[in-house]
Amino acid sequence: MNDRHEAEDVLQEVFLQVWRRAGTFDEARGRAFTWLATIARSRALDRLRAAGSRARLADEAALEQADEVSDAALDALNSETRAIVKNALAELTDEQRKVLLLAYFEGLTQTEIAERLGDPLGTVKTRMRSGLIKLRELLGTARDLV
């Protein structure tokens, strides 16, 4: 937990949960120590996720205020970068572009892409690899020009 007070709070939550749910413990499913460790781990992860969520909300709120006062130079650079990437993607074959867009913008795995497109997994992997290599070459050239 990296914070003694947070760890103590989690431990208290674990004790309360054990006290309330002691009747649900099944010795046939494992040892008591394992049951306790699992509960403690779950409560600690819940606490860390909650802390991360609060931190993200605070960061987003700070960014919203910063976004209101936009930097024209940064906007121009982002626009230029977007155009460079768009042009590089246009240089790829349709098959390469399709697998890369599905992977990076829809978050699909290679297996999911293969299923969606009806192509063999090896074909998807090859298209993705060759597309990334070509993008690296194209974007490397574009970066040298800027």
Q: Is 107 left (phi over 0), alpha (psi -120 to 50) or beta?
A: left
Which residues lie closer than 8 Å to 135 by C-beta, 6 or more apart?
88, 89, 92, 100
Annotated domain spans of the chain: 4-68, 72-145
Between CA 128 and CA 112 the distance in angstroms is: 13
Q: 72-145, which class in CATH?
A: mainly alpha
Cα dist from 33 to 18, 100, 106, whole Å: 12, 46, 41
Report pLDDT digits (tens) over 8-51: 998 999 999 999 988 988 888 889 888 899 889 988 888 888 87
**With 90 as the cut, is the pLDDT of residue 114 above it?**
yes
44-53: pLDDT as tens digits: 888 888 877 7
Burial classification of residue 58, based on how many CB atoms lie within 10 Å of its CB (0-12 exposed, 13-18 middle, 19 or more buried): exposed
Question: What is the average per-residue pLDDT within 57-70?
Answer: 65
Report how far residue 12's alpha carbon sits from residue 50's, in angstroms, rounded to the nearest whole number: 17
Residues 84-96 have pLDDT tens digits of 888 888 999 999 9
Range 4-68 has CATH code 1.10.260.40: no
CA distance linking residue 143 with residue 122, whole number of Å: 31
Three-class DSSP labels, 69-109: CCCHHHHHHHHHHHHHHHHHHHCCCHHHHHHHHHHHHCCCC
Q: Do domains 4-68 and 72-145 have the same CATH topology?
A: no
Q: How far apart are CA 105 and CA 47, in angstroms?
A: 30
| pLDDT top residue among 130 and 76 | 130
User: If you average pLDDT over every residue of the chain, what do you get?
Assistant: 84
Supply the pLDDT for residue 130. 94
Mean pLDDT of 56-76: 67
Residue 66: pLDDT band with limits 50, 70, 90 = low
